[in-house]
Amino acid sequence: MNHPKRLLLSNLAWSQEVSAREPEFFADLARGQQPRILWIGCSDSRVPAERITNAQPGELFVHRNIANLYTSDDGNASSVIEYAVHALKVEHVVICGHHHCGGVRAALSPPSDALPVVNRRIAGLRDLAGRHRDELLAIEDFDARVDRFAELNVIEQVRLLRESPIVRSAPRPPQVHGWIFGLREGLLTQLTDMDEAREIADSLTETHAETHAVRDAA
Report the catalytic residues: 42, 44, 46, 98, 101
Calculate ∠ Cα 156-157-161, nearest 5°: 120
Give buried/exposed letters for 62-97 (b at 16+ CB in 10 A, else e).
bbbbbbbbbeeeeeebbebbbebbeebebebbbbbb
Give the dihedral of Cα atoms 92, 157, 143, 181; nearest 10 deg. Answer: 0
Query: Alpha-carbon distance 157 to 81, whole Å?
Result: 13
Residues 105-140: b if buried by 16+ CB within 10 A, e if exposed: bbbeeeeeeeeeebeebbebbeebbeeeeeebeeee
Name the nearest CA neighbour of 69 among 100, 101, 92.
101
